[in-house]
Amino acid sequence: MKLEIPLEFSLAAVDAQHPRRVAIVRGPLVWVRQSRAPFSTSFSQWKTESTNPLAFELDAAGKSQLVPFYRLGRHDPYWMYFDLES
């Protein structure tokens, strides 16, 4: 038996009443930001950190990163939900 899990990034709405508040998912994982810096939802602009394949830089300066939620420590700050601009 072979299990294939798509690993493209996508945006998942919190619920039907709030379709513009989204979480970022990739496969079965929810990804979170560790800073409040603005980011682009154009996934093709994101780049993988060369030293860490489970972190993605969201801007050219590397000021904002996405990491899987499970990798955070107990007291690490994070932002999971984002409001899309209208």
* pLDDT at residue 7, rounded to an integer: 80
* pLDDT at residue 66, rounded to an integer: 82
Q: What is d(CA 79, CA 58) in angstroms, rounded to the nearest whole number?
A: 14
**Three-state secondary-structure class, residue 29:** strand
Contacts 24+ apart (CB under 8 A), 8-11: 8/43, 9/43, 9/46, 11/41, 11/84
Here the tokens at position 17 are 């009443």
pLDDT, one tens digit per residue, over 11-55 is 899 999 999 999 989 888 898 988 776 666 666 666 665 566 677
pLDDT, average across residues 65-84: 88
